[in-house]
Chains A and B, each alone.
Chain A
Amino acid sequence: METYRDLERDLEDMREYYRYGKTKEASWRKSQLKGLLTLLKEKEGDIFKALNQDLGKHHVEAFRDEIGTLTKTVNTALESLKDWMSSKTAKLPRIALLTSAEIVPEPLGHVLIISSWNFPFGLSLEPMIGALAAGNTVVLKPSELAPACASLLANAISTYLDNKSVKVIQGGSSVGEQLLQHRWDKIFFTGSAHVGRIVMSAAVKHLTPVTLELGGKCPAVLDSLSSSWDMKVELLKNTIKEMFGENPKESHSIARIINKQHLLRLKNLLEDPHVDASIVYGGSVDEDNLFIEPTILVDPPLQAAIMTDEVFGPLLPIITLEKIEDSIQFINSRPKSLAIYCFTKNKTLQRMMISETSSGSVIFNDTIIQYAADTLPFGGVGESGFGRYHGKFSFDTFSHEKAIVRRSFLTDFWFRFPPWNNYKLQLLESAFNYDYLGLVLVILGLKRHRQGSDGI
């Protein structure tokens, strides 16, 4: 493990490299993105293996949720890079003769990405793609709870990307804390609200802007959709059987719990006798194999931990309500979540859901898929975080939008300058109001002078 001084030296080397300007070049950015593409292709087998080892994830799921989406993202970034990097003209009023204005995106500089264990590749590389496309140097600290993935990331990135400007630093919370002591131009964090607070508090020292991708209890609102609720529960049970077979533990299509600590946390959620009594499907826990079967509960007590803490596991409580519109108040009485899912064909309910609740995103008639939609910003609000990424939003999140105005020496408004008098005041007012006629009238002496406070 590196000491503070070693780490500072490495980071200073990276900052020095950044100052040369290499990472700002389009060719460098392209080469890093292509490097990532090659990494994903050539290391696909190893990535599947690591994900299976750390999470028991099936490789098709790993493709769908991690490698596939990452490949799509890198391709989008490569195609769009020129456009994203280009400056955008800002409209000026006609009065601004011989003046031009534009917004130029520039890298923030030196970026720290801290990712979570549940999608160890996706949540590490998705932000990294944005950071590299935007021309930054990057230090990634992957989660130590997925060690095979962290180690593979460290190896692969040092092989496929520019070592002088992209580094992976492995370790647990103490390494994370150490990293947070150094100066960054941006910190991108995915994880829990508790650690999110620690990250933001550490960022204060250097006034580092942060993006916090947190969590929350994402509800799925299920409208009647022409079936009663107990039919729906039956449907859920049957679908689970279809996907995972009669004995889900034997199915290789379902991931394990990440570690003993989380397994016990989840097991604990089910211990409460009232909660236990509400289980209608599943409920079995295999501690040795870190496996909990898909479990459905109906109407567990609302004050139980399973209904107050983010579940983050294979337990699905169902809360029944008198009428579906009550779900809005139910959702609003709880902290804002990263997503709200709503299954309904009722357009009124859809409108109400959008305008009367607040969440990172809202998805109708599906789940999770917004993660793959590059044109939608992905991020939270309130307790679920702030900032966003995916697609161009990733590029923007790691950029500073610099405003530029260019003036000519030829044109000037003489009334801009002191000594002040009422006449100049009138002219300036007209100018500021883009009142061209007014300007002319004042100059021609045809507009009544306003009274100044000191009568000048």
Chain B
Amino acid sequence: MGSVEKETKVFDSEAASSMVKELRGEFLSGKTRSYEWRVTQLKNILKMSEDREQDIVKALHSDLTKPELESSIYEISMLKNACTLAIKKLKQWMKPEKVKTSLTSFPSSAEIVSEPLGVVLVISPWNYPFLLSIDPVVGAIAAGNAVVLKPSEVAPATSSLLAKLVGEYLDNTLIRVVEGAVAETSALLEQKWDKICYTGNGRVGRIVMAAAAKHLTPVLLELGGKCPAVVDSIINLKVAARRIVAGKWGCNSGQTCVAVDYILTTKDVALKLVDALKHELEGFYGKNQLESKDLSRIVNLNHFDRLTKLLDEDKVSGKIVHGGERDKANLKIAPTILLDVPQDSLIMNEEIFGPLLPIFTVEKVESSFDVINSGTKPLAAYLFTDNKKLKEQFVMAVSAGGLVINDTVIHLAVDTLPFGGVQESGMGAYHGKFSFDAFSHKKGVLYRSFAGDAPVRYPPYTKGKLAFMKALMSGSILGVICALIGLSKN
């Protein structure tokens, strides 16, 4: 545990380079290899999350006006679970995995050994600034790496708190926080890392990957996309509506990478769905939803303006069937539903990341799969249906990071499932053991005996050797025997 260093100098390329050098030196000393070091750090992260919960909730409220429950459960509890799992399973994860060997390398034994990649960089976003910073860090530490975390400057209270907490609770010789914006991030990206984990948007994701390419650094990119929810005509529209509300406005006012971005449904269901959604919204947030304390605000003026622009577009402004109220001073936009937006509107073409829910109607529900597939692959896709066949069609036809049937967002809480995107929504995955694996190199180790050296492998090459090798490769013991005693057809 070290003291907090006040960074008064500008964090430039030189500072970044010397920091990486220092961390690499510490890493090479072998300290992170031990189970004890890793488990101690993880336990300290757990302690930090428990002891300082109120500070974290306060910071999240300052940055996002995030309701306490969302902070406690969706950020802190989720993070604590990740820690607890890692602490429980670390010994098992760290053990080499024995694998079978075949006739071609007989006699031999083999195993896959997990080793840390080295010094890794984690760049986190502003929407879940605590969880999405520390969750990857948990994986990196469990795998035995040194870590630098660069939290988002768009959530400054949390960024500053993270710097303080990491300074107080964790081993600063190997785990650091660098605060800052574009300049500091660029300085960090110039360095050679052994892995970079970035959560955010596709534009910056490309910048990160391009910087990584210079050093052949592998990357984990958790990006976004337009996550659709397809709603079939179902018996339990009320429950579906409730789960959609929870997976949209209940998640940071829609500012979540896996929030329901838009709805696809048929005309007859659309009207019923709008009513059901309105009813649930009122149940959750009361009649005056703009002022509800249970909703996050929009993070900053930039995003507020971006969202109001989506609402004010001519093609779309007349399609509002619920909400639309805004309070610029408090950066609030009420839960808003739009019906029958045109496919070429802005709101249907960029990731909304806010409390606006457009409903796009199709002729028959199966056509919604084509609509989804005509866009880029999203991080998640949702389907509400009672129809078994439709469920299977959905799973086969729709490609996304993850799919949920009859609910939204909850797959993030399942740590036995990999969480990651595909194509525009990202590459790589984490959560649970996948986090450990994401920050590990899986080294193949083969042990050969000196006995049993087959001269057939070696020159000078002859027909007989060829026959023997063919038999060996085919795994046929009989073939091998025949070849040995010269009975092969060749």
A92-B416, A354-B445, A373-B105 known; A420+B68 contact, CB < 8 A: yes
Q: How far is the CB of A90 from chain B (nearest CB, A)?
A: 4
B112 at interface by CB-CB < 8 Å: yes
B73 at interface by CB-CB < 8 Å: yes
Interface SS of A by simple majority: mixed
The CA of A207 and the CA of B421, in the complex, are separated in Å by 11
Q: Are B447 and A381 in contact, with the CB atoms below 8 A? A: no
The CA of A370 and the CA of B77, in the complex, are separated in Å by 43
The CA of A310 and the CA of B351, in the complex, are separated in Å by 46
**Residue interface mask A70-94, B partner, CB < 8 A = 1:** 0110010000000000000011100
Q: How far is the CB of B376 from chain A (nearest CB, A)?
A: 9
CB interface residues, A 88-130, toward B, < 8 Å: 90-92, 96, 101, 103-104, 106, 108-109
Of all chain A residues, the one with the shortest Cβ separation from B100 is A375
A207-B221, A251-B459, A400-B399 known; A365+B473 contact, CB < 8 A: no
A375-B101, A424-B69 known; A403+B448 contact, CB < 8 A: no
Count of interface residues, chain B, beta-carbon cutoff 8 Å: 112
Q: Which of B165-173, B203-211, B303-311, B323-331 faces chain A?
A: B203-211
Q: Are A64 and B401 in contact, with the CB atoms below 8 A? A: no
Interface centre among B115, B234, B460 (most CB of A within 10 A): B460
Binding site for B on A (CB under 8 A): 19, 21, 24, 58-61, 63-64, 68-69, 71-72, 75, 90-92, 96, 101, 103-104, 106, 108-109, 185, 193, 196-197, 200-201, 203-207, 209, 212, 214, 243-245, 251-254, 332, 345, 350, 354-356, 358-366, 369-370, 372-378, 381-383, 385-388, 400-409, 412, 416-420, 424-425, 428-429, 432-433, 452-454, 456
B343 at interface by CB-CB < 8 Å: no
Q: In the complex, which residues of chain A have a beta carbon less than 8 angstroms from the beta carbon of B427? A: 207, 209
Q: In the complex, which residues of chain A have a beta carbon less than 8 angstroms from the beta carbon of B406? A: 406-409
8 closest Cβ pairs, A-B complex: A60-B461, A376-B444, A253-B459, A403-B402, A200-B213, A90-B416, A403-B417, A375-B99
Q: Are B216 and A196 in contact, with the CB atoms below 8 A? A: yes
**Residue interface mask B29-64, A partner, CB < 8 A = 1:** 010010000000000000000000010011001000
Q: Are B77 and A207 in contact, with the CB atoms below 8 A? A: no
Q: In the complex, which residues of chain A have a beta carbon less than 8 angstroms from the beta carbon of B462? A: 60
Q: Are B236 and A409 in contact, with the CB atoms below 8 A? A: yes
Q: In the complex, which residues of chain B have a beta carbon less than 8 angstroms from the beta carbon of A418? A: 67, 69, 250, 284-285, 292, 294
A244-B460, A370-B446 known; A64+B469 contact, CB < 8 A: yes
CB interface residues, B 276-306, toward A, < 8 Å: 283-286, 292, 294
Q: How far is the CB of B95 from chain A (nearest CB, A)?
A: 13
A193-B216, A385-B216 known; A374+B102 contact, CB < 8 A: yes
Q: In the complex, which residues of chain A have a beta carbon less than 8 angstroms from the beta carbon of B57? A: 453
Given A193-B216, A407-B404, 11 more pairs with CB closer than 8 A: A21-B396, A61-B461, A203-B213, A204-B213, A207-B223, A406-B404, A407-B407, A409-B234, A409-B386, A419-B285, A453-B54
Q: Are B402 and A404 in contact, with the CB atoms below 8 A? A: yes
B232 at interface by CB-CB < 8 Å: no
The 9 sampled A-B contact pairs (Cβ below 8 Å) are A64-B457, A92-B414, A197-B213, A207-B426, A364-B446, A403-B403, A406-B391, A428-B73, A432-B73
